[in-house]
């Protein structure tokens, strides 16, 4: 059995133990269960710290070494087409799930006193979210999208230099290898982090779910898993990768995303999975960092479903035109969502205000958002590898032998 599969098994075992211990501690009450969260926070802090250099080195190297700029252009165009296509499917599934499960009907929750809704992002904010104010902004995890835009330009500069840019190209290549190595070391700690986070979630949020959000949670999990198994299964099958290989290798990033609730933090683990699937490095070095920040099918599904949940909660019926608008808003909202825990909830304000729904809904969803965040983040990262597989098929026609 490969080391990777063993590590993924340890993660599953850690999660099962956490469910039991977290449930018991939550039942007993007290601080202990909240403190377990620290075990996961350590893991996420290390991951978040290495994200900006990892994005810079991997995308920078990938772009800098594409001497044929037309090829870079075609990779980006295909990625965008796949991204939009799959996110529209996901947002539509979100609408269907809301109509089938009707999670908001009959709950009638009160808005917490003193709650002020976040200011919804405008279209201008969304456009500007691609461009940093200054260099220092590029170094934060929340600035990942801006760092990608900067790195694409930087890599282009190196590529255009030709031979004169060769030393920088080698530097970028070595840098990307160093950071991927660091991540593989960090994965030995992953089961402990997963244990800490899962126990905390179950212990702290367990009672909340029981109160009636259960339908919303079930609706999201059912349709998110449908998207994962059927849509991604179909994509990798068309790509010729073989669904079994995809699901086997995707398990580890799926679980890491599920517990860290950050696509960007899971990026390094997702890259290793891509390598094991045989997706060429020059493809996933570009598609995965971009995908981690903008390709969020799980978030699109969640935002569409949550908007319907809010509408039902307040007894508002959305007509067909509003539902179409909702799908479009969820597509854009998911693209603009920051790949950090809870990022999708912030952009939900944009979705709700676009469709004309009360922003108070955000405060209501907040209580269970970490549970919703877990599955949507896992779907977000899994979609990036399914899309990369499709791109590999289109550009290469076949997959590589796994090198790790």
- Is the backbone of residue 316 left (phi > 0), alpha (psi -120 to 50) or beta? beta
Query: Which one of residues 65, 306, 312, 337 is an interface residue with ligand ASP (CB under 6 A)?
Result: 337
* Structure tokens belonging to residue 389: 């597989």
**How far apart (Å, rounded) are the C-alpha atoms in residues 255 and 355?**
33
- Which residue's CB atom is positioned nearest to ligand ASP? 344
Site for ligand ASP in 94-153 (CB under 6 A): none
**How far apart (Å, rounded) are the C-alpha atoms in residues 359 and 212?**
20
Query: Which one of residues 175, 242, 341, 358 is an interface residue with ligand ASP (CB under 6 A)?
Result: 341
Query: Which one of residues 65, 250, 263, 388 is an interface residue with ligand ASP (CB under 6 A)?
Result: 263
Nearest approach, Cβ of residue 352 and ligand ASP (Å) = 15
Nearest approach, Cβ of residue 250 and ligand ASP (Å) = 15
Query: Which one of residues 172, 256, 269, 296 is an interface residue with ligand ASP (CB under 6 A)?
Result: 296
> Residue 377, interface with ligand ASP (CB under 6 A)?
yes
Residue with tokens 């909660």: 313
Alpha-carbon distance values, 41 to 11, 52, 74, 151, 197 (Å): 16, 18, 39, 28, 8
- Is the backbone of residue 78 left (phi > 0), alpha (psi -120 to 50) or beta? alpha
Nearer to ligand ASP, 191 or 344 (CB): 344
Q: Which of these ranges, 235-243, 247-255, 261-269, 323-331, lies near ligand ASP under the rule CB under 6 A? A: 261-269
Nearer to ligand ASP, 196 or 343 (CB): 343
**How far apart (Å, rounded) are the C-alpha atoms in residues 347 and 109?**
22
Encoded one letter per residue, x for contact with ligand ASP by CB under 6 A and - for no contact, window 217-256 reads ----------------------------------------
* Structure tokens belonging to residue 84: 């939009």
Nearest approach, Cβ of residue 380 and ligand ASP (Å) = 4
Site for ligand ASP in 178-217 (CB under 6 A): none
Nearest approach, Cβ of residue 27 and ligand ASP (Å) = 28
Residue 40 contacts residue 258 (beta carbons within 8 Å): no
**How far apart (Å, rounded) are the C-alpha atoms in residues 171 and 180?**
14
Angle at 80 between CA 78 and CA 83, to 5 degrees: 110
- In b/e form, how buried is each residue of 44-69, taking b as 16+ CB within 10 angstroms? bebbbebbbbbbbbbbbbbbbbbeee
With CB under 6 A as the rule, give the number of residues binding ligand ASP: 16
3-state secondary structure of 337: coil
Nearest approach, Cβ of residue 57 and ligand ASP (Å) = 21
Residue 262 contacts residue 43 (beta carbons within 8 Å): no
Q: Which of these ranges, 60-68, 218-226, 236-244, 335-343, lies near ligand ASP under the rule CB under 6 A? A: 335-343
Residue 386 contacts residue 372 (beta carbons within 8 Å): no
Question: Counting Cβ atoms within 10 Å, is residue 335 exposed (0-12), middle (13-18) or buried (19+)?
Answer: buried
Nearest approach, Cβ of residue 287 and ligand ASP (Å) = 15
Nearer to ligand ASP, 300 or 391 (CB): 300
Q: Which of these ranges, 20-28, 44-52, 217-225, 257-265, lies near ligand ASP under the rule CB under 6 A? A: 257-265
Nearer to ligand ASP, 316 or 367 (CB): 367
Nearest approach, Cβ of residue 381 and ligand ASP (Å) = 7
- What does the binding site for ligand ASP look like in residue numbers (CB under 6 A)? 261-263, 296, 299, 337, 339-344, 373, 376-377, 380
């Amino acid at each position: 059995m490969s080391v990777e599969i063993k590590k993924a098994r340890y993660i599953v075992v850690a999660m099962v133990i956490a469910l039991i211990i977290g449930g018991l501690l939550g039942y007993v009450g007290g601080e202990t269960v909240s403190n377990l969260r620290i075990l996961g926070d350590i893991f996420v802090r290390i991951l978040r710290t290495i994200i900006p250099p990892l994005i810079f080195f991997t995308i920078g190297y990938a772009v800098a070494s594409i001497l044929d700029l037309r090829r870079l252009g075609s990779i980006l165009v295909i990625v965008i087409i796949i991204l939009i296509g799959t996110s529209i499917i996901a947002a539509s599934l979100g609408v269907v799930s809301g109509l089938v499960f009707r999670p908001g009907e009959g709950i009638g929750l009160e808005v917490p006193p003193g709650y002020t809704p976040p200011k919804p992002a405008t279209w201008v904010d969304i456009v500007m979210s691609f461009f940093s104010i200054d260099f220092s902004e590029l170094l934060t995890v929340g600035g990942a999208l801006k760092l990608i835009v900067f790195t694409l330009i930087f890599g282009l500069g190196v590529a255009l230099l030709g031979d004169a840019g060769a030393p920088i190209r080698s530097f970028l290549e070595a840098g990307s290898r160093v950071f991927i190595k660091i991540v593989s070391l960090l994965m030995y700690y992953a089961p402990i982090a997963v244990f800490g986070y899962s126990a905390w979630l179950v212990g702290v949020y367990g009672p909340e779910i029981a109160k009636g959000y259960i339908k919303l949670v079930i609706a999201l999990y059912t349709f998110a898993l449908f998207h994962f198994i059927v849509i991604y299964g179909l994509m990798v099958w068309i790509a010729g990768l073989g669904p079994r290989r995809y699901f086997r290798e995707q398990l580890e990033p799926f679980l890491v995303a599920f517990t860290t609730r950050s696509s960007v933090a899971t990026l390094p683990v997702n890259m290793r999975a891509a390598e094991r699937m045989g997706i060429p490095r020059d493809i996933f070095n570009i598609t995965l960092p971009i995908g981690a920040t903008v390709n969020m099918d799980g978030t699109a599904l969640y935002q569409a479903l949550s908007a319907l949940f809010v509408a039902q909660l307040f007894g508002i019926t959305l007509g067909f035109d509003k539902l179409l608008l909702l799908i479009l808003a969820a597509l854009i909202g998911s693209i603009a969502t920051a790949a950090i825990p809870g990022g999708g909830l912030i952009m939900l304000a944009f979705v709700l205000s676009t469709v004309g729904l009360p922003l108070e809904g955000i405060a209501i969803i907040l209580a269970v958002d970490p549970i919703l965040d877990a599955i949507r983040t896992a779907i977000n990262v899994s979609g990036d590898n399914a899309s990369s597989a499709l791109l590999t098929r289109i550009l290469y026609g076949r997959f590589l032998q796994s090198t790790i």
